[in-house]
Structure 1
Amino acid sequence: MKFVTSEEQQALAQAIDEIIESAGEMTIARDWAAGSMASGHALWAQLAELGLLGLCVDEADGGMGGTAVDLIVAFERLGYYAVPGPYIESAALLPDLVDSAVLGGIVDGSIVATGAVPGLVPYALDAAASSHSFVVDADSISRATSGPGITSIDRVRTLSALTADGEATRLDPTVVALAIDRATLACAAMLLGAGERVLVEAVSYAKLREQFGRPIGEYQALKHQLADVRIALTFARPLIGGAAVELGSPLGARSVSAAKVAAGDAANLAARVALQVHGAIGYTEEHDLGLWITRVRALIGAWGTPRYHRSRIAAFLLSPTR
């Protein structure tokens, strides 16, 4: 299976890049971490106008009617820029689970929605910055209120426990499972984007930083480490693309888990090597590298830990009915 993005998907990625870069790029994440969310909400409105929040929504409901491949193209770019906010929850998890009024608000950007999935995603992301919060169970969804924020390893991310209030709306468990897998796939795409960005930063810095009168990028040992990162990210990409194609099929759950594990491992390797390349400056809060490193660590555990997804893959492989 060969994965080549279409001209439309390339244009979507380019448009997202241009919007984020013109909005301030990494200053948005820094402002969000400092409690100033105006620039983040302004970016949310711009990306909603582009159609990103309606990628998974039918055209009849005001969305883009896109595919899961369109989704991973978009979310890779969000990961590349460490964009803050509950994009996974609003654009990937909730569109098939909420009523039409909420769905319309999500698509046009007037509603910022987040959610928790007990047993998988115990805390909701950025509930204080969201106008709607939901608890999603295996066969139902409930509106919820959020508790105090909990500090994450990624200072840009604030997590909150949710308490369901009101009567739950019953849902088809198959629809819920698909929505959760789609959100997990979006998380994998964000990990890939973050990994690609830290590799770019590491290669760029290796060309500038000198030891013993030579750029450190000229040393063979460092070249090998950067090459290992390139290989890991390149190998993860088709797994994510394959999972997007198989989403909703009998192989979908296995493929999503494989993509999440591979993307997490590749991004983690990228973060570790990038930190070694940067040396002491990479540990400082002033350097942007820390925003990606902590984002990678947070996303690895989000939407299912590596252990959870490896167990899901093993259960499929060992199933007698496979």
Structure 2
Amino acid sequence: MMRFLPTDEQLAFAEAVDEIVDGHGGTDIPQAWAAGDTAPGLELWRQFAELGLGGLRLPEEDGGLGGSAVDLVVVFERLGYHAVPGPYLESLALLPRLVDASTRAELAGGAVATACVERVAPFALDADAAALRFAIDDEGIAPAAAGASIASLARVRRLNALTPGARTPLDRETLSGALDEASLAAAAQLVGAGERLLHEAVEYAKIREQFGQQVGAYQALKHQLADVRVALSFARPLVHAAALALDGPTRARDVSAAKVAAGAAARRAARTALQVHGAIGYTAEHPVGLWIALAPALDAAWGTPTFHRARVSRALARV
């Protein structure tokens, strides 16, 4: 029987992530990162490294925690909830399957790593803050140097072009599995970002007044908030189901279904949160803007909605 609820151990790990983020500045961390100050974010990375997060998906014989794909989902949902900046997806989800043993040891030790992938993620996230950079294409994986910076929709996502060195060939199935794990992690981040947007919207609706009463009293807004709750509640089980199927024959279909649902739910949450907050939601000073921009950026990353819907359609057509 499939289990879609986190275990006590997973809940404890999620709580540890929350406590570390809150204890080191909370929303001040992504705000500083967006302003160009990476020091608080890198200190947070070091704290997570002490927790063993760098080796979450690495086997114990490689110095990792031997965590499951569901463990990965639980962690990335919390990272999305806090808008934690940095290339965690690349370091924890994408690269462990693709790099050699010595690099896996560096990842387990907490090295900051990033990567670009031809056609899927053509620009690397936070290359200027990473110690390890890789360029990946159909021919293989190569260490790379950071190039020109590219503007991102989300202020906490700084993108760079990479210039690759000598390639090491990659097995096509290994690369496909790593890309699906990256998409899964992005879906979990989207659920977390959506949950934070819903929380911020509900709390602000209690204090913002319009025409002499709280905006949360308006029935139309209550319906919109309820729609966000329903969308997130439908997306989360799909993400967990995809995690359970990550090594099975339905991996591509399930990961894509999860990414589509999580992206749509997070985008709905962003629209509703912006409506609740009004113009203040656009400002750099108000933290809700971090998630309002993060939702569409993540929705387009690691496979666009069009790409993932097409994969689901092809899978269903073969049934």
| Range class of TM-score, shorter chain | over 0.9
In 2, distance between residues paired with 1:160 and 1:19?
28
Q: Which residue of 2 aligns with 1:305?
A: 304
Q: Which residue of 2 aligns with 1:257?
A: 256
Aligned-pair CA distance for 1:18 = 0.2
Moved more, 130-139 or 98-107: 130-139
Q: Which residue of 2 aligns with 1:24?
A: 25
Q: Which residue of 2 aligns with 1:280?
A: 279
In 2, distance between residues paired with 1:163 and 1:286?
35
Aligned-pair CA distance for 1:108 = 1.2
Q: Which residue of 2 aligns with 1:229?
A: 228
Is the Cα contact below 8 Å between 1:138 and 1:177 reproduced in 2? no
Does 1:113 pair with 2:113? Answer: yes
* Secondary structure class of the residue paired with 2:21: helix
* Aligned residue-pair number: 318
* Secondary structure class of the residue paired with 1:291: helix
In 2, distance between residues paired with 1:237 and 1:71?
13
Q: Which residue of 2 aligns with 1:44?
A: 45
What amino acid sits opposite 1:233 in the alignment?
L
% identity of equivalent residues: 57
Q: Which residue of 1 aligns with 2:13?
A: 12
What amino acid sits opposite 1:307 in the alignment?
T
In 1, distance between residues paired with 2:288 and 2:102?
40
Matches within 5 A, 1:23-172: 23-109=24-110, 111-138=111-138, 140-166=140-166, 168-172=167-171
Is the Cα contact below 8 Å between 1:139 and 1:173 reproduced in 2? no
In 1, distance between residues paired with 2:50 and 2:108?
8
* Secondary structure class of the residue paired with 2:85: coil
Aligned-pair CA distance for 1:139 = 5.6
* Secondary structure class of the residue paired with 1:163: strand
In 1, distance between residues paired with 2:143 and 2:283?
40
- Give me the CA root mean square deviation: 1.1
What amino acid sits opposite 1:311 in the alignment?
A
Aligned-pair CA distance for 1:127 = 0.6
What amino acid sits opposite 2:103 in the alignment?
V
In 2, distance between residues paired with 1:33 and 1:279?
22
Q: Which residue of 2 aligns with 1:196?
A: 195
In 1, distance between residues paired with 2:180 and 2:106?
23
In 1, distance between residues paired with 2:118 and 2:52?
29
What amino acid sits opposite 2:131 in the alignment?
S
* Secondary structure class of the residue paired with 2:236: helix
Is the Cα contact below 8 Å between 1:184 and 1:260 reproduced in 2? yes
Deviations 1:113-161 (A, max 9, x none): 1001101111110111111111122462111112111110112211111
Q: Which runs of 5+ in 1 are unaligned?
A: none
* Secondary structure class of the residue paired with 2:97: coil
Is the Cα contact below 8 Å between 2:135 and 2:141 reproduced in 1? yes
In 1, distance between residues paired with 2:252 and 2:57?
18
In 1, distance between residues paired with 2:273 and 2:97?
38
Q: Which residue of 1 aligns with 2:181?
A: 182
Deviations 1:244-290 (A, max 9, x none): 00002110011000000000000000000010011121121111111
Is the Cα contact below 8 Å between 2:52 and 2:64 reproduced in 1? yes
In 1, distance between residues paired with 2:181 and 2:138?
15
In 1, distance between residues paired with 2:276 and 2:91?
36
Q: Under a length normalisation based on structure 1, what TM-score does the superposition of the two structures give?
A: 0.96
Is the Cα contact below 8 Å between 2:31 and 2:287 reproduced in 1? no
Q: Which residue of 1 aligns with 2:4?
A: 3
Q: Which runs of 5+ in 2 are unaligned?
A: none
In 2, distance between residues paired with 1:163 and 1:254?
32
Moved more, 279-288 or 180-189: 279-288
* Secondary structure class of the residue paired with 1:95: helix
